[in-house]
Chains A and B, each alone.
Chain A
Amino acid sequence: MESANTLAIEKPAKKSIIKKIFEVREIVILLLVLILAVFMSLNSEQFLSLGNFRVVGNYMATDMIIGAFLTVSLIAGNTDFSVGSNMGCSAFVCGLMLNAGYSIPVCILGGLLCGVVIGAINAFIVVRLKVLPMIATMGTWMIFKGAGLMIINSSTLSNFPIAFKAIVQDWNIAGISTLIITMLIVTVVVSFLLKSVSFFHQAYFIGSNRESAKLAGIRVDRFIYVLYILIGLCAALAGILSISRYGSAPASLGQGVEFRVISALLIGGVSLNGGEGSILGTFLGILLMALINNALTLFGIDSNLQNVLIGSIMVIAVAVDEANRRRQK
């Protein structure tokens, strides 16, 4: 009995390297990214240009800023569908304040505060009212989509001060824009937080088994509050940087972002059941989406194909994951 047991335990070690690679999502997505990049550089002269890198970077920046803490939250088993509406609503608040003549730092703070409040509302509904995160945040998604459009009368806000627009349009370090720098900072910081800082690393325990986590004395409710607030803050930040970049706040700002980001997260290996995922995976998932978008644009192909491809990749990625899990059992 005992020897049979040990054998059963040691068996998985003999897996082939190729199989092992395919069980690490990050590597699979990285391979897809590389294949796409090589293909692009062979077929398009523009692809490898600095300008194009900037395009790709700017395209993925807001998604990544939002996706970072969302990854942590999803690892702990709590989703947030309200990020797109939050991004729009917070940006509108900031824009309206700018047009009302408040100083730029005050306006930015106002926008960020709006994001924090929406995050806190989400947490309140989930923790106190015990509504499932998916339902709670679908509710706030609609609420703040509507509220955002109401405060701007469904029209585009523009005529922002030049100094505000300069934040993304002009400021740069070695030619890298504020937007991309922010994305890189958020990625590196959140990656570090999730890996090494106890409070954030608890996401894995909470997502792996919430009951055990509670009995182990982990303060699950507090974690949920902090995470929703951080997600809200980052969604607002993404919104504010967006309107600085465009110099205007279109009524459609932020719409559809939630599904795009969550599908990128799923492609990157985050599990909706919780317990799994990494910031690197999320980054690669979002990068893959940006590259696909870039490829379609460069080749002048119907950009709607992007959705078809992303949807397919997401389903295949999750199906492969499930197959792996079944095999491990």
Chain B
Amino acid sequence: MADFILQLKNIVKEFPGVKALNNMMFNLERGEIHALIGENGAGKSTLMKILSGIYMPDEGEIVLDGEVVKFKDTLDSEKKGISIVHQELAVFNTSSVSENIFTTNFPKTKLGLIDYKTMYKEVRRLLDTYGFQDVGEKRTMRNLSVGRQQIIEILRAVKKNAKILILDEPTSALTEKETEVLMTIMRKLNKEGVSIIYISHRLEEIFQICDSVTIMRDGQYIKTLAVKDTCKDELVRYMVGRDVVYQYGAGTSQVSDELLRVESLNYKNYIKDVSFTLHRGEVLGIAGLEGAGRTELLESLFGVNNPEHGKIYLNGEEIKIASPADAKAKGIAYITKDRKNKGLFLRMSISDNMLAANVDRYTKKNLMQFKAAKIAAVEYKEKFQIKTPDVEKKVSQLSGGNQQKVLMSMWISRHPQILLIDEPTRGIDVGTKESIHNLIRDFAKQGMGVIMVSSDMPELIGAADRIIAMYEGRISGELKLDEICEEKIMALTSGISLSKGA
């Protein structure tokens, strides 16, 4: 019988409309490094949030060191020995390294003041122990590289004397060298008796450092394997393992001439040498993990980012896109995934939103054509079946799906040639999902082109006529309609075929 430091039994967590975790189980042996893997949206983050006390499970129990525990909040779970380092940095940029490591538990002098001397001494020792002689304990956090900041965060967790350390995709922001440093730290901690839960999309790393691996899918436990007894292909198979197929109209429209061609586009570290073409009538899917450069690619095509090299051809003619206004004028529309903060004007009415994205079209002799915008809003409310009694309603009062339809109507009513759409159905219920895909397909059928970024596998497979996969800013492969399948997408987006030297 194995010695489990942590056991999760039958964990259920529901959010309005979704069962994020369903009968999930997870066992962590004392002193092991245990990988947790699964697709985007499989429920890994939710599970970790339950472990760190951010969410309470609806059902099921957590057994820590043989005792059933309930975490009231993050502080409580930390007290019981669980520390988490989240994917997104949570550092205090303007404070020193030492202050970041101690945050709330500063050593105190007899008078109850912060004892800087002791703090600096302890941090110095900690930094030296883990081989960071070159990092000053008084350095301001923001002067460190992102990788170093991440490592300081990990040291913060270490400082708390955690028994269990959870690392949620710690390497997504790290360079290869920094990743190695991280691995060294992990091994060291592991030797000192800390058990580690390691979440990563990079399957390679799992084989380098982990003892066992648990795969989850759609909020459920799939399998736990010893790393030495498995291989990448097997892991991918378990991660995918779905037989539900969605039909969102892939391959149903007439694909004709080239509409857009991109040649070796580069933008900072996000996009490297990206080339592809888009045809009329086509829905081109872009697959990739978070941070693979998908959104940055769309934003470069829309003039939000200004790419450093590379050429863009529209209908065979080279064009320069300097700003969103420029892109818009050339018939490109962009529907952002961050519709609340970057797409819609939430405090305004549907009709005013229609106006805002189309000021140029609803202006005659410099005057605003409020009526024309309202007529268009009403027209598209009918056409897109936006569920609202009145187009004068504030957009904030609509459901997510209807908000997305409003955003799409703002752009499609311009009759663009190219539609760039990022995560078209994120956070949208299943029913509306289909109607949004019908809108996208109808648009393509009119001879226009769509570039669709999605983290949702079934969506990509069901809606895209062709898929290009991105991995760390590069295109790692292309799949034609008859080649598209989850295993291939998964392999390309995790960089497996790249590492094989393809």
* Interface residues in chain A, defined as those with a beta carbon under 8 Å from any beta carbon in chain B: 2, 5-6, 8-10, 195-199, 201-202, 204-205, 208-209, 211-219, 275
Known contacts A198-B366, A215-B324, A217-B357; 14 additional CB pairs below 8 A are A5-B387, A9-B388, A9-B389, A9-B398, A196-B368, A197-B366, A197-B368, A208-B348, A209-B344, A211-B342, A212-B356, A215-B302, A216-B328, A217-B328
Q: Which of A5, A9, A198, A217 counts the most B-chain CB atoms under 10 A from its CB?
A: A217
For residue B56, CB closer than 8 A to chain A, the reply is no
Counted as pairs of residues, one from A and one from B, with CB atoms less than 8 Å apart, the total is 88
Q: How far is the CB of B324 from chain A (nearest CB, A)?
A: 5
CA distance in complex: A252, B362 (Å): 46
Per-residue interface assignment for chain B, residues 285 to 326, with 1 indicating a CB less than 8 Å from any chain A CB and 0 otherwise: 000000000000000001010000000000000000001110
Q: Distance (Å) between the CB of B437 and the closest chain A CB? A: 20
A201 to B358, CA, bound (A): 12
In the complex, B393 has a CB within 8 A of chain A: yes
Give Cα distance in the complex from A6 to B347, angstroms. 19
Pairwise interchain contact A212-B328, C-beta atoms closer than 8 A: no
Could you tell me the distance between the alpha carbons of A2 and B345 in the complex, rounded to whole angstroms? 24
Instruction: Given A6-B389, A9-B393, A204-B348, check contact A215 B343 (CB 8 Å).
Output: yes
Task: For the complex, give the distance between the alpha carbons of A8 and B388 in Å.
Answer: 11
Main secondary structure of the interface of A (DSSP, over half): helix
B334 and A5 within 8 A (CB): no
Give 30 A-B contacts (CB < 8 Å), ordered by A residue: A6-B389, A9-B389, A9-B393, A196-B367, A197-B367, A198-B359, A198-B362, A204-B348, A205-B348, A205-B359, A208-B345, A208-B346, A208-B347, A208-B348, A208-B356, A209-B342, A209-B344, A209-B345, A209-B347, A211-B342, A212-B344, A212-B356, A213-B356, A216-B324, A216-B328, A216-B356, A216-B359, A216-B410, A218-B325, A218-B356
Give the CA-CA distance A217 to B410 in the complex, in Å: 12
Instruction: Decide: B327 and A217 in contact? CB cutoff 8 A.
Output: yes
- Please give, as numbers and ranges, the residues of chain B lying within 8 Å of A212 by CB-CB distance: 341-345, 356
Distance (whole angstroms) from the CB of A285 to the closest CB of chain B: 22
* A201: B residues at CB distance < 8 A: 359, 368
| Bound CA span A205–B346, Å | 10
Question: What size tier do the contact residues of chain B reach?
Answer: 35 or more
Chain A residue nearest to B302 (CB atoms) is: A215
Is B325 touching A219 in the complex (CB atoms < 8 A)?
yes
Residues of chain A within 8 A (CB-CB) of B342 are: 209, 211-212, 215
Pairs A-B, 4 closest by C-beta atoms:
A217-B328, A198-B363, A217-B325, A205-B356
Given A208-B348, A215-B304, A215-B343, CB of A199 within 8 Å of CB of B389: no
A208 and B341 CA atoms in complex are apart in Å by: 10
The answer to whether B336 has its CB under 8 Å from any CB of chain A is yes
- Chain B residue nearest to A214 (CB atoms) is B324
A198: B residues at CB distance < 8 A: 359, 362-363, 366-368
Q: Does B247 make an interface contact (CB < 8 A)? A: no
Residue of B nearest to A325 (CB): B347
Q: Which A-chain residue is minimally distant from B356 (CB atoms)?
A: A205
Task: Give CA–CA (A219, B303) in the complex, Å.
Answer: 12
Residues of B within 8 A of A275 (CB): 347-348
CB distance A209 to B368 under 8 Å? Answer: no
Query: Which of chain B's residues have a CB closer than 8 A to the CB of A6?
Result: 387, 389
Question: A277 to nearest B CB, angstroms?
Answer: 13
- B399 contacts chain A at the CB level, 8 A cutoff: yes
Contacts A9-B388, A205-B345; A215 near B334 (Cβ below 8 A) = yes
Q: Say whether B348 contacts A211, CB under 8 Å.
A: no
A214 to B342, CA, bound (A): 8
B366 touches A199 (CB 8 A): yes
CA distance A205 to B353 in the complex (A): 8
Closest residue of chain B to A216, judged by CB? B357
Q: Judge if B397 is at the interface, Cβ distance under 8 Å.
A: yes
Produce 1/0 per residue, B132-162, CB < 8 A to A.
0000000000000000000000000000000
In the complex, chain A residues whose CB is within 8 Å of the CB of B352: 204-205
Tell me the smallest distance from the CB of B354 to a CB of chain A, in Å: 11
Q: Which residue from chain A places its CB closest to the CB of B327 in the assembled complex?
A: A217
Contacts of A209 in B (CB 8 A): 341-342, 344-347
- Give chain A nearest CB distance to B205 CB in angstroms: 35
Closest approach, in angstroms, between the C-beta of B206 and any C-beta of chain A? 37
Could you tell me the distance between the alpha carbons of A24 and B352 in the complex, rounded to whole angstroms?
19
**Chain A residue nearest in CB terms to B332:** A217
CB distance from A39 to the nearest CB of B (A): 36
Are B341 and A211 in touch, CB under 8 angstroms? yes
Least CB distance, A207 to chain B, in whole angstroms? 10
C-alpha spacing A214/B346, complex, angstroms: 15
Nearest B residue to A9 by beta-carbon distance?
Answer: B397
State whether B348 touches A217 (Cβ < 8 A).
no
Residues of B within 8 A of A213 (CB): 345, 356
Q: Which of B324, B363, B387 has the most CB of A within 10 A?
A: B324
Minimum CB–CB distance for A8 against chain B, Å: 8
Q: Which residue of the partner chain A has the closest CB to B363? A: A198
Q: How far is the CA of A310 from the CA of B205 in the complex (A)?
A: 65
Taking CB atoms, residues of chain A closer than 8 Å to B355 are 205
User: For residue A208, which residues in chain B have a CB less than 8 angstroms away from its CB?
Assistant: 345-348, 356
Q: How far is the CB of A109 from chain B (nearest CB, A)?
A: 26
CA gap between A195 and B367 in the complex, in Å:
9
- Alpha-carbon distance between A10 and B393 when the two chains are bound, in angstroms: 9
